[in-house]
Amino acid sequence: MQHPQTATLLDALALQDSDTPVLTFLHADETAQPLTRAQFRAAVQRCAAALQQQGIGPRDLVIIADTQSVVSIVAFWGAVWLGAIPSMFPTLTEKLDPQIYMRNMAELVERSQVRAVLADENFVLLFRQHTDARVIALSTLVDNGAWDDKPKYDLPPYAAKPEDIAFLQHSSGTTGLQKGIALSHAAALNQLRHYSAAIDLRDQDVIVSWLPLYHDMGLVAGFLLPFVQGIHLVLMSPFAWVAHPAMLLRAIHRYGGTLCWLPNFAYNHCARRIRERDLEGLSLAGVRAFINCSEPVRHESHALFVEKFTPLGVTWNQMAVCYAMAENTFAVTQTRIGQPPATEHVSRRAMESDLCAVSVADDDPNGVTIVSCGVPITNVEVQAWDAGGLPLPERYIGEIAIHSDSLLSGYYRRPDLTPLNEAGWYATGDRGYIANGNVFIIGRSKDLIINAGKNIYPQDIEAIANTISGIHPGRAVVFGVPDDREGTELLALVAEVSATDEAERKKIVQAVRQAVVSQAEVTLTYVALVESGWLIKTSSGKIARGENRRKWQQTLKK
Amino acid sequence: MREDIIRTKIRTFIIEDLIRDEEYALENDEGIITGGLMDSFALAELGVYIEEEFDVYIPDADLTVDQMDTLDQIVIRVMRGMKED
């Protein structure tokens, strides 16, 4: 396809003024809300004018905290239109504790000097009680019942410069530690141009997505890419999809979907949890690629997916892999579309002891299968570094580092943090190696857990556990447990308690599960209560996650 | 099929397959999803299990946290489905 030469995201949006569909939003009941480019552009201008009337202007940080909706998408572009800096945020859900959500939001508002929070009208009062930012109901900015082709306001777009910050993506973690990843117009457009080439994006492509827009894969692949490149996007809510995974396949069939990005767990979720009756009459043969991204890729998950959906026309040639991170806007690597990703069977022992990926026979029981993440997209250089930050030869395992023209400008309002080294490289914290130009990711340097595509810091969950009555403060450890059935890491908690009474112990277990769901919106799959002194400490007195995980697996895992 | 048999089967499925703790003393009115025992993935999993085990298809509109959060709710919904068939 043609890749228009544009300097800012707004130039790209301005190209899209026609009756061609830009977005079809699927509600939970699968009723469709279609929108043309002209309607969208008019709504964006109207929203920008309304934001301006509320005192929002260039370089103001605007947090959009809403469920996946057409309104929030319009508001994002409305903010960009004014030169403000939008950032998508998870909304308050019924699972989350409102007090804690609001406390975190208030911290973010203060630390990042948020100018306005845009939210559903039901939450406006709550936000106003807890934050100092201006709180604006999304319904006052976008009238979701009236879609005109012609703009009512002749508000010219802000004349942004390519190096201006276009938007923020927020890293995960407790809000106090969350960093706003600042991305410029130039970085975003460089990413979109080079990534479009990597996936051989075509005008007739249709992207189908349930991915949340506060996540880099959802924001870039499932939102900015189609909007900037003029590709039809069919979007649904992650909440609706998780409970009803067949929705995604029905949408692909109904709208002729050709590209679909999914985290690894979603392959297992679809393969295991879609009922036969829901598959009748569906075809997925027109899909060019299901692109696996944002958590470690498992060959077994692809195999499960292909086996289950072969009757619908799914083949290995549709399986693809991308390695991405918000700090690079999104993609770092991509496998070739139309070919199955390469795999390697390498010696587990050599990886652990020699830090080197040595191929072994396919049937070698000491081998482990690793799926290639593909080759770097054309604007990105990738190296594996040793502990001293020097590049390693091929096949040697080290920290993956990247250099590109789509990297972050910095962490927003955090001049104390310098994410790039002097030569402009970003050390990712992921461990892996390079072989024949392909990048293979095998793990992480940090303790980060990726559960169902969501990054979770164990210390955040441990902090929640430490507040539970009955758990000895500072005596709880959380770690990830890779799970073949789910195709992701599950969370396990081991905590020291004194209680011996069964009813009392059950209360503690219930309390900690409930607290973790309501504060972090993740589920603890395994909770083990142990007696004082069970947990292993390091020589410096810290609780050692890796060693405790091994002890738990050997002695307690059911 | 008798209600107590249905209840036992579903209970066993929940604690063994979903919660992964056979010793867990699950109460009939305990919130499985709202109580943090399971995430929303469980809804889809329950849908598959109920169709395979009891030949009852629960439409997506009924497969919600509001309607399928406790053992009591799930048993009642399965029995209703069996009667409708």
Q: How far apart are CA A200 and CA A203, in angstroms?
A: 10
In chain A, which residues have their Cβ closer than 8 Å to the Cβ of B45?
272-273
Total length of chain A: 558
Nearest CB neighbour to B35, from listed A246, A510, A526: A510
Q: Are strands A85-89 and A61-65 parallel, antiparallel or unpaired?
A: parallel
Question: Do residues A117 and A63 lie in contact, with contact meaning Cβ atoms separated by under 8 Å?
Answer: yes
Amino acid identity at B28: N
CA distance B48 to chain A (A): 6
Tens-binned pLDDT, residue by residue, of chain A (558 aa) = 655 567 888 887 756 678 888 999 999 999 999 999 889 989 999 999 999 999 999 999 999 999 899 999 999 999 999 999 999 999 888 778 888 889 889 989 999 999 999 999 999 999 999 998 999 999 999 988 778 877 777 788 999 999 999 999 998 765 556 889 999 999 999 999 999 999 999 999 999 999 999 999 999 999 999 999 989 999 999 999 998 999 999 999 999 999 999 999 999 999 999 999 999 999 999 999 999 998 999 999 999 999 999 999 999 999 999 999 999 999 999 999 999 999 999 999 998 888 999 999 999 988 999 999 999 999 999 999 999 999 999 999 999 999 999 999 999 999 999 999 999 999 999 999 999 999 999 988 778 899 988 888 898 899 899 999 999 988 999 999 999 999 999 999 999 999 999 999 999 999 999 999 888 889 999 999 999 999 998 777 778 888 999 999 998 876
Q: Which two structure tokens, joined as six digits, stand for B75? A: 């048993």
Q: Is A523 on the interface with B (CB under 8 A)?
A: yes
The domain spans of chain A are 9-19+32-184, 342-444, 449-555
Q: How many beta carbons lie within 10 A of that of residue A290, not counting itself?
A: 24
Task: Identify the pLDDT of residue B42.
Answer: 85
Question: Do residues A273 and A245 lie in contact, with contact meaning Cβ atoms separated by under 8 Å?
Answer: yes
CA distance A11 to chain B (A): 40
CB contact residues (below 8 A), chain A span 115-144, against chain B: none
Question: How many domains would you assign to chain B?
Answer: 1
In chain A, which residues have their Cβ closer than 8 Å to the Cβ of B20?
525-526, 558
For residue A396, count CB atoms less than 10 angstroms from its CB and return exposed for 0-12, middle for 13-18, buried for 19 or more.
Answer: middle
Closest of A553, A518, A551 to residue A533, by C-alpha: A551
- A224 secondary structure, DSSP code: I
Q: Which two structure tokens, joined as six digits, stand for A177? A: 């530690």
Task: Identify the pLDDT of residue B68.
Answer: 93
B18, B23, B39, B66: best mutation site toward chain A, by most A Cβ within 10 Å?
Answer: B39
Q: Which two structure tokens, joined as six digits, stand for A332? A: 């770092």
Task: Identify the pLDDT of residue A299.
Answer: 95
Task: Identify the pLDDT of residue A226.
Answer: 94
Contact A243 B48 (CB under 8 A): no
Task: Identify the pLDDT of residue A174.
Answer: 57
Search chain B and give the residue with CA nearest A94.
B34
H helix runs in A18-89, sequence order: 37-53, 70-82
H helix runs in A177-298, sequence order: 185-198, 216, 225-229, 238-243, 246-255, 264-273
CA distance A141 to chain B (A): 31
- The architecture (CATH level 2) of A9-19+32-184 comes to 3-Layer(aba) Sandwich (3.40)
Task: Give the pLDDT confidence of A150-159 residue by residue, as tens digits.
Answer: 777 778 899 9
Nearest CB neighbour to A244, from listed B20, B21, B63: B63
State ipTM: 0.88
CA distance B74 to chain A (A): 15
Contact A244 B44 (CB under 8 A): yes
Which residues of chain B approach chain A closer than 8 Å at the C-beta? Answer: 20-22, 25, 34-41, 43-45, 47-48, 51, 57, 60-61, 63-65
Task: Identify the pLDDT of residue A10.
Answer: 85
Segments forming the whole domain that contains residue B76: 3-84
- B59 secondary structure, DSSP code: -
In chain B, which residues have their Cβ closer than 8 Å to the Cβ of A558?
20-22
Question: Do residues B40 and B67 lie in contact, with contact meaning Cβ atoms separated by under 8 Å?
Answer: no
What stretches of A227-284 adopt beta strand conformation (E)?
232-235, 259-262
CB contact residues (below 8 A), chain A span 21-50, against chain B: 29
A358 phi/psi in degrees, rounded to 5: -110, 125
Residue bearing tokens 């277990």: A509
Query: What is the widest separation between alpha-carbon atoms in chain B?
Result: 34
Question: Do residues A86 and A167 lie in contact, with contact meaning Cβ atoms separated by under 8 Å?
Answer: yes
Contact A523 B36 (CB under 8 A): yes
Task: Identify the pLDDT of residue B85.
Answer: 67
CATH tag, A342-444 = 2.30.38.10
A61 phi/psi in degrees, rounded to 5: -80, 125
Q: Is A250 on the interface with B (CB under 8 A)?
A: no
CA distance B72 to chain A (A): 19
Task: Identify the pLDDT of residue A93.
Answer: 83
In chain B, which residues have their Cβ closer than 8 Å to the Cβ of A246?
60
- The architecture (CATH level 2) of A449-555 comes to 2-Layer Sandwich (3.30)
Q: How far apart are CA A412 and CA A180, in angstroms?
A: 5
Instruction: Reduce the secondary structure of A328-343 to three states and give it as a string.
Output: HCCEEEECCCCCCCCE
Nearest CB neighbour to B48, from listed A242, A275, A514: A275
Q: How far apart are CA A371 and CA A441, in angstroms?
A: 8
CA distance B11 to chain A (A): 17
Task: Identify the pLDDT of residue A481.
Answer: 93
Task: Identify the pLDDT of residue A132.
Answer: 87
Nearest CB neighbour to A514, from listed B35, B40, B47: B35
- B65 secondary structure, DSSP code: T
Spell out, as residue ranges, where chain B has pLDDT lower than 70.
Answer: 85
Output the DSSP codes for A368-428.
EEEE---EEPTTEEEEEE-TTSPBPPTTB-EEEEEEESSS-SEETT-TT---B-TTS-EEE
CB pairs under 8 A between A and B: 71
Task: Identify the pLDDT of residue A511.
Answer: 94
Residue A387's beta-bridge partner residues?
none
In chain B, which residues have their Cβ closer than 8 Å to the Cβ of A524?
36
